[in-house]
Structures are given as structure tokens and as C-alpha cells.
Amino acid sequence: MPFIPTAPWTHSAEAWRVAVLAGGTSAERDVSLESGKSVSTALRQAGHQVTVIDPRDVPVASIDWKSFDVAFLALHGTFGEDGEIQQQLDELGVLYTGSGASASRLAFHKLDAKRRFISARLPTPEYAVVPPTVDPFAAMSLAKYVGFPLAVKPEAQGSSLGVSIIEHPSELPMAIERSRQFDEQVLLERAIPGDEWTVPVLDDVALPPIRITTSRPFFNFEAKYQDDETRYDVITDENHVVVRRVQQLSLQACQTLGCRGMSRVDLRVDPQGQAWLLEVNTLPGLTSHSLVPKAAASLGWSMARLCEEMIQSAWQAKVAKERRRA
């Protein structure tokens, strides 16, 4: 269903005590710190009591969680999006934003997510897996099976780190080695021509999608976080055929993986108008360059309102879970 803005956040007249978890030890640490800064600034300006905690320096189990109402997860990459910290917080009985451990783990591992998409008959590009034991030069038969041009990706990594788009077989060994700097297992995926789209999904509703235009071969780390010329077109026309298509497919992807809270679905739309699922990000970036705040702004939401909606989603999930147990 298209996104219908809800009423402003009204859980409590009191300020919430929020622990913003940011930083961590992954390759996306710097992006996470920027997300944490953006979130904490917005929530403080809205009157909430905010403490920023870096799990790299403070073990999650050692935090006095009785001092907080909710953990806002601004982590990215391993020990953030991979389900590990969610599992720890579940065991500690801590309320937190975003998807649970199982959905986070599924989405972070691209191979597992693609298998779920295929089982659900959702369109996703053809692929092959290069195991850690396979020499990059010996992977040529797998690459030819998928076909060129080819996207070469770490099997579990975010922010497009270690991703290459290659057009010739001679580029394959170097691309695999680049991906293996982030994960020993590598995914070879057919590179879909056309436009890049992303759709933020909050629980069971889709925000306006964003069409991305970059001068680079694809929407890589530099295009996401460093290039000022990258163009983001938020498409708010609900009657736009591609908008309906990518929103519906994004909702199906999140439902298939069991996501909750805020996620962001990345897609390609080919010249024939066919939408293809690439991946689901269960802890999308919340920096000044990030896409979810851009989509929220098109609805008239401030950054504080966006963060409050994400906290409210976590609270509603907790209430629903308690009702099921009753």
C-alpha cells in the first residue's frame, strides 16, 4: 500500500530516554558514527534524553539498560545489521528499533535473501556464488554462466563496499579480490541495465521511492557518501506505474524476510520497466546524504519526526508481541 502519514508521535508526554548505538567495529564505522550524530541531534532538539554509546568501547551487556526506554540502532555492517546485536538485545529484554535478529541476519547475507526472494517468486537477478576456497581465476566458468556485465559483491557487507561492475572476463580476478577484502564468500550477480531505485519501508507501508542518478557505473560508496553531484529524485506520484511497481515489490521483499521497523529496499528498473530486487537494508543510513531522510522530508517530516516514528514502530511491535502472549 502507498505510504499514509500517521499522526505525530504521541506515545508519551514525557521525553524518552534513548540510547543511540553507533560506531561499532565494522568497515562502515564512519558512516554509522555520522548516522548516530544525525539521530542524536534530532532527538535532543525534539526534547528527548539521548546518550550515544559506541559498542566498540562499551559492551552491550554492560550497559545499565534500566536507565533507558529504547535503544536506537544507528549501526551498519557486521555487529549491526547481521542480527548479532539484535540477538543480544533480545536476550537482555531491551526494546530496540528496526528488524529482529532473524530478519536482520537474512537480509545481511545476500545469498540467503536471494534464495528467499526466489522461493517467493520475486524477481531478482541471476547469480552464482564464489566460495572462499575457489581461486579467482577458476571462477570464470561461474561468471560466464551468469553473463556479463556482472556485479561482483561481498556476500555480506553494506554501503556497496567491495562492489564492482565489470564488463570483461579479464576484470574478474581483481574484482573478486576486492570483494574478498570484506567477505571471503563472493556473489556474482547479473548487472541489470537501467535506473537505480530505492524504497524506504516502515513496517507494512512504503514511503515515496527515490530514483538515483550518478555519474559512476553504479551507486557505490563514493556516490552515496561523497559525491555532491549524485541526483536523487523523490517520486511522490502514486499513479506513476514504476512507483507502484517498486513500492509493491519492496513491501513483498520486506514481508518475505520478516522485516519490521524501517528498512530500505534497493532495486533496478530495466529499460522494459521490469523491477528487480537487489537487496534489503534493515538499518539504512541516516546521515545528511542518506536516502531515508530524503524520502521522509518529501512527506514534510523533520529528522526528529522520522526518528520518533521509528521508535514508535518499535514500541508498537512490543505491544503487539505482548498481546499475542496474553
* pLDDT tens, position by position, 77-109: 889 999 999 999 999 999 999 999 999 999 999
Whether 155 contacts 183, CB under 8 Å: yes
Residue 312 lies inside a defined structural domain of this protein = no
Q: 39 with 74: CB under 8 angstroms?
A: yes
Question: String of b and e for 23-37 (b: at least 16 CB within 10 Å)?
Answer: bbebbbbebbbbbbb
Closest Cα to residue 257, out of 277, 241, 229, 273?
Answer: 277
Which of 26, 104, 160, 290 is flagged as catalytic? 290
Question: Is 279 annotated as contributing to ligand binding?
Answer: yes
What is the per-residue pLDDT for 2? 43
Residue 271 lies inside a defined structural domain of this protein: no
Q: What's the CA dihedral at 106, 111, 112, 117 to 10 degrees?
A: 100
User: Cell numbers 561499532 label which residue?
Assistant: 24
159 is known as an active-site residue = yes
Q: 160 versus 226: which is more confidently predicted?
A: 160
Q: What is the pLDDT of residue 121?
A: 98
Could you give the CA distance from residue 283 to residue 85 in angstroms, rounded to a whole number?
A: 12
Gap between the Cα atoms of 300 and 321, Å rounded: 31
The stretch 167-176 carries a mean pLDDT of: 91
Residue 311, pLDDT > 60, answer yes
Domain-located, residue 67: no
Please check whether residue 260 is in contact with residue 73, taking contact to mean a CB–CB distance below 8 angstroms: no
**pLDDT beyond 90 at 231:** no
How many helices (H) and strands (E) the chain has is answered by 10, 13
Residue 56 lies in a domain: no
The answer to whether residues 304 and 43 touch, using CB atoms and an 8 Å cutoff, is yes
Share of the chain above pLDDT 70, in %: 90
In a domain, 284, yes or no: no
Kindly tell me if the per-residue pLDDT of 195 is higher than 60.
Answer: yes
Residue 308 lies in a domain: no
Alpha-carbon distance of 123 to 278, in angstroms, equals: 9
Given a cut of 90, whether residue 285 has pLDDT beyond it is yes
What is the rounded distance in angstroms from the CA atom of residue 178 to the CA atom of residue 164?
8
Q: Is 34 annotated as a binding residue?
A: no
Q: Supply the pLDDT for residue 322.
A: 84
Residues 6+ apart with CB under 8 A from 164: 151, 152, 171, 174, 175, 178, 179
What DSSP designation does 162 have?
T
Is 91 a domain residue?
no
- Report the distance separating Cα 165 and Cα 177, nearest Å: 13
- Among 156, 199, 205, residue whose Cα is nearest residue 26: 156
DSSP for 48-90, written as a single string? -EEEEE-TTTS-GGGS-GGG-SEEEE---STTTTSSHHHHHHH
User: Is residue 209 pLDDT above 90, yes or no?
Assistant: yes
Q: Examine residue 94 and state whether it is found in any structural domain, yes or no.
A: no
> Per the residue annotation, which of 26, 32, 159, 160 is the catalytic one?
159
Residue 260 · residue 317 · CB < 8 Å: yes
More confident residue, 217 or 203: 203
Is the pLDDT confidence value at 169 over 80? yes
What total of structural domains would you count in the chain?
Answer: 1
For residue 63, pLDDT beyond 50: yes
Q: Let me know if 104 is a catalytic residue.
A: no
Catalytic-labelled residue, pool 28, 81, 84, 189: 28
Whole-number pLDDT of residue 3: 44
- What's the CA gap between 139 and 162, in Å, rounded? 17
Predicted TM-score (pTM) of the model is 0.89
Whether 238 is a known active-site residue: answer no
> Which structural domain range is residue 137 located in?
126-190
Tell me how far apart the alpha carbons of residues 47 and 253 are, in angstroms, rounded to a whole number: 35
Q: What is the CATH number of the domain that holds 162?
A: 3.30.1490.20
266 is in an annotated binding site: yes
